[in-house]
């Protein structure tokens, strides 16, 4: 039973990694297309990033520097747990700094700092099928993708407008990749969609429970679906980050008391810390908080 | 004042330390040993092995202790271990007809070659809590010499007369699939479907099987036979040119005999629903055979009107490790997406108020 403790570099055996790498290569060759792969049981639950973890494990080498974020933050418990997992099974260097990382595994956010060529962003994806909530059957959605039959999605967005006066999708906002496949960007807020467009970094998406991998290679068109009279727009925040004063970034709301008091702070904790270290300060920022 | 939450690592470590404490419980009570679980909670071990898809009683017992008795957690532990094991190849199909039978019952025939044997069953126990078993020994079981009589499977007996459809054979040139190595691609063939059902959640399959009995995709089932016992596992070694015996495993097999009217091409004959599970797992094997038959609706040209007949619905949701992961992931932080929704709902409420004020 001592064999329990003996695992291969980055946990997965080499055969499995090769199978996943093949799926990744196919995904890169057909941007936005969901490639089935034989997802393995991982030592963390399905739905907690097993797809991302398998992708990361398959592309990781000993010299890689890994950053893991959840909700934009390096210190959320699941991000801590996944980072610790790779530090243990692959003994790779980890970082919280976006610029230092060669692989960034993420759940629900894209870092504020522009990603560069050579970096790989690995998304954890719960439901890879953008059409799933319009048509639950895989057998049907596969046909719709093959025939480029995306009318249903436009009808859904139109119905949003008819009902709410606007497209009421705020996250997992559907995109069209390189003019062909409609893709789920994973449940990132639509605020992050423009960052995917022609990104210099390679973007890989892993859905473990759903057995799918897809990709957006660098410099690929990623266009959010919209209408001429209802163009796509991202969230705007009225106030800057209360800690670092950043504008034009995605903010989290923090409740301060039970009398309606709240503040908005950067969702990207690394971005916020770097700004504060550089001496930038928001209305509630303090020197101590930056340390 | 808001302070960025740090120390996730320490929190996780402390939580796990507390978990270990709660698992161990009162230190004055002796700690559980693996053999106690293997010997005295055998059916829990069987379930962890079956749905964990790994035949190893000791590992399943370890998983049960580590999971504090949470079966799905134990199944998950077994699966996560299983997936790391090297794959040497595939064993030969087991021959349940040659089983060393401990229990064998048929609901379709009063008596049959090989006889009926109740074996270690809860059936006909009166469910009265019995404090006298606590800490007590049990009487040794009655034993008798096994006769020479063979116990052929009921379906084989029926099959000889052509009264039941033949066991399905794979199409020419097709190999049995392996759902642990290839992604599922709907619609499935029956081999993959049975694999998924064999590791599927007992509760889920029980409910679905039950639903077919209550009219949601009725299949008119009879228990042709349930048999529990040990079978040989053989492995073909190419270098030797023959199969060698690797050992024995205990399995539960259920052959459900179902009605079928026949068609223009096929004379009337009974149809099959099949269940096979590691260990002693009768409820699971029976539920599996009901669901297997229900899922063959398309094959027999039956109308697909009920959940139990819907392959993509059943198989996509039968795996409790997947299900528990995704249901429980909802407790992970979602505040980025929630913020997006908050922002939108505030905007929409402001517009709504604005319109109402304008109207007044």
Contacts of B84 in chain A (CB under 8 A): 7, 11, 13
Say yes or no to pLDDT of B3 above 50. Answer: no
Q: Specify if A242 maps to a domain.
A: no
At B100-117, the pLDDT tens digits run: 999 999 999 999 999 999
Same domain, A78 and A187: yes
Nearest-CA distance A217 → chain B (Å): 24
| Residue-level pLDDT at B259 | 87
Domain end call among A224, A243, A275 = A224
Same domain, A29 and A98: yes
| Pairwise CB contact (< 8 Å): B11 & A187 | no
Nearest CA in chain B to A1: B59
d(CA B60, CA A80): 29
Q: Strands (DSSP E) along chain B, which ranges?
A: 100-105, 221-237, 242-258, 271-278
Rounded mean pLDDT of B217-235?
96
> pTM of whole model > 0.90?
yes
Contacts of A1 in chain B (CB under 8 A): 58-59, 62
| Pairwise CB contact (< 8 Å): B81 & A250 | no
Same domain, A256 and A173: no
**β-bridge pairing A65-70 and A93-94:** parallel
Say yes or no to pLDDT of A49 above 80. Answer: yes
Same domain, A176 and A258: no
| Active site (annotated) includes residue A266 | yes
Domain end call among A224, A241, A265 = A224
| Domain coverage including residue A267 | 251-290
Q: Specify if A240 maps to a domain.
A: no
Nearest-CA distance B92 → chain A (Å): 23
| Residue-level pLDDT at A4 | 43
Contact status, residue B208 vs residue B314, Cβ threshold 8 Å: yes
Q: Which of B336, B341, B349 to mutate to test binding with chain A, by most A CBs within 10 Å of its CB?
A: B336
Contacts of B12 in chain A (CB under 8 A): 77, 80-81, 84
Contact status, residue A181 vs residue A160, Cβ threshold 8 Å: no
| Res. B6 pLDDT band, cuts 50 70 90 | low
At B147-204, the pLDDT tens digits run: 788 999 999 999 999 999 998 788 888 889 999 989 999 999 999 999 999 999 999 9
Same domain, A140 and A284: no
Same domain, A68 and A124: yes
At B236-274, the pLDDT tens digits run: 988 898 999 999 999 999 999 998 777 777 789 999 999
Number of domains composing chain A: 2
d(CA B336, CA A48): 16
Q: Specify if A175 maps to a domain.
A: yes
Domain end call among A205, A224, A243 = A224
Rounded mean pLDDT of A146-160?
96
d(CA B76, CA A40): 12
Rounded mean pLDDT of A17-25?
97
Which CATH number goes with the domain that contains A195?
Answer: 3.40.50.11310
| Pairwise CB contact (< 8 Å): A256 & B2 | yes
The β-bridge partners of B227 are B104, B253
* Integer CA distances (angstroms), A118 to A186, A217, A260, in order: 22, 11, 44
Nearest CA in chain A to B53: A41
Same domain, A70 and A29: yes
Contacts of B88 in chain A (CB under 8 A): none
Q: Specify if A6 maps to a domain.
A: yes
| Residue-level pLDDT at B4 | 36
Contacts of B298 in chain A (CB under 8 A): none
Q: Specify if A236 maps to a domain.
A: no
| Pairwise CB contact (< 8 Å): B312 & A139 | yes
Contact status, residue B65 vs residue B57, Cβ threshold 8 Å: no
Out of A38-47, B231-240, B259-268, pick the least confident. Answer: B259-268
Sign of the four-CA dihedral B319, B322, B323, B325: positive
| Residue-level pLDDT at A180 | 98
Q: Specify if A147 maps to a domain.
A: yes
Say yes or no to pLDDT of A1 above 70. Answer: no
Say yes or no to pLDDT of A284 above 90. Answer: no
* Integer CA distances (angstroms), B107 to A38, B4, B224, B256, B268, in order: 40, 66, 6, 10, 21
Same domain, A38 and A91: yes
Same domain, A256 and A220: no
Count how many pairs of residues, chain A against chain B, have C-beta atoms within 8 Å.
147
| Active site (annotated) includes residue A32 | yes
Nearest CA in chain A to B333: A71
Same domain, A166 and A281: no
At B21-39, the pLDDT tens digits run: 999 999 999 999 999 999 9
Same domain, A284 and A164: no
Indicate which residue of A206, A272, A282, A285 is catalytic: A272
d(CA B179, CA A40): 10
| Residue-level pLDDT at B88 | 85
The residue to which tokens 């928001």 are assigned: A282
| Residue-level pLDDT at A90 | 93
Same domain, A103 and A204: yes
């Amino acid at each position: 039973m001592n064999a329990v403790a003996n695992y291969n570099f980055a946990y997965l055996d080499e055969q499995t990694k090769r199978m996943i790498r093949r799926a990744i290569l196919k995904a890169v060759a057909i941007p936005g297309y969901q490639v089935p792969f034989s997802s393995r049981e991982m030592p963390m639950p399905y739905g907690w990033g097993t797809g991302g973890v398998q992708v990361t494990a398959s592309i990781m080498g000993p010299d890689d520097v890994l950053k893991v974020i959840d909700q934009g933050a390096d210190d959320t418990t699941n991000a801590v747990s996944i980072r610790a997992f790779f530090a243990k099974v692959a003994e790779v260097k980890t970082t919280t700094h976006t610029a230092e990382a060669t692989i960034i595994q993420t759940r629900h956010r894209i870092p504020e700092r522009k990603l560069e060529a050579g970096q790989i962003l690995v998304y954890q994806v719960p439901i890879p099928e953008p059409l799933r909530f319009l048509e639950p059957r895989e057998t049907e959605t596969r046909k719709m993708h093959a025939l480029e039959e995306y009318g249903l999605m436009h009808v859904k967005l139109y119905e949003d407008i008819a009902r709410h006066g606007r497209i009421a999708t705020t996250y997992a906002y559907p995109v069209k990749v390189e003019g062909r496949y409609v893709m789920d960007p994973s449940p990132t807020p639509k605020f992050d969609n423009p960052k995917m467009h022609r990104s210099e970094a390679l973007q890989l998406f892993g859905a473990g429970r759903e057995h799918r991998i897809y990709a957006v290679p660098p410099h690929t068109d990623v266009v959010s679906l919209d209408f001429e009279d209802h163009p796509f727009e991202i969230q705007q925040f009225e106030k800057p980050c209360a800690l670092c004063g950043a504008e034009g970034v995605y903010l989290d709301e923090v409740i301060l008391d039970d009398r309606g008091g709240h503040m908005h702070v950067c969702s990207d904790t690394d971005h916020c810390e770097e700004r504060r270290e550089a001496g930038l300060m928001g209305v509630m920022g303090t020197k101590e908080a930056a340390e | 004042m808001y302070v960025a939450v740090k120390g996730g690592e320490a929190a996780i470590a402390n939580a796990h330390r507390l978990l270990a404490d709660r698992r161990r419980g009162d230190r004055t009570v002796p700690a559980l040993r693996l053999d106690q679980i293997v010997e005295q909670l055998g059916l829990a071990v069987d379930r962890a092995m079956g749905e964990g898809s790994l035949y190893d009683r000791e590992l399943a017992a370890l998983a049960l202790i580590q999971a504090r008795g949470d079966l799905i957690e134990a199944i998950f532990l077994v699966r996560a271990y299983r997936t790391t094991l090297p794959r040497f190849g595939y064993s030969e199909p087991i021959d349940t007809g040659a089983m060393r039978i401990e229990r064998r019952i048929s609901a379709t025939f009063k008596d049959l070659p090989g006889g009926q044997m109740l074996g270690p069953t809860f059936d006909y126990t009166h469910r009265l809590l019995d404090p006298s078993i606590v800490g007590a020994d049990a009487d040794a079981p009655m034993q008798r010499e096994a006769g020479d009589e063979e116990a052929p499977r009921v379906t084989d007996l029926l099959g000889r007369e052509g009264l039941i459809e033949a066991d399905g054979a794979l199409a020419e040139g097709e190999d049995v699939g392996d759902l642990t190595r290839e992604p599922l691609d709907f619609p499935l063939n029956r081999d993959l479907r049975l694999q998924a059902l064999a590791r599927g959640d007992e509760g889920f399959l029980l409910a679905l099987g039950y639903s077919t009995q209550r009219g949601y995709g009725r299949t008119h089932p009879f228990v042709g036979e349930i048999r529990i016992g040990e079978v040989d596992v053989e492995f073909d070694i190419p270098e030797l040119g023959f199969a060698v015996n690797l050992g024995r495993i205990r399995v539960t097999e259920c052959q459900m005999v179902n009605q079928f009217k026949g068609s223009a091409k096929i004379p009337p004959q009974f149809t099959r629903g099949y269940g096979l599970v590691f260990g002693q797992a009768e409820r699971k094997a029976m539920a599996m055979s009901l669901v297997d038959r229900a899922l063959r609706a398309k094959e027999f040209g039956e109308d697909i009107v009920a959940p139990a007949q819907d392959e993509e619905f059943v198989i996509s949701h039968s795996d409790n490790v997947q299900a528990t992961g995704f249901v429980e992931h909802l407790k992970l932080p979602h505040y980025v997406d929630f913020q997006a929704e908050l922002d939108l709902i505030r905007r929409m409420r402001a517009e709504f108020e604005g319109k109402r004020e304008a109207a007044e």
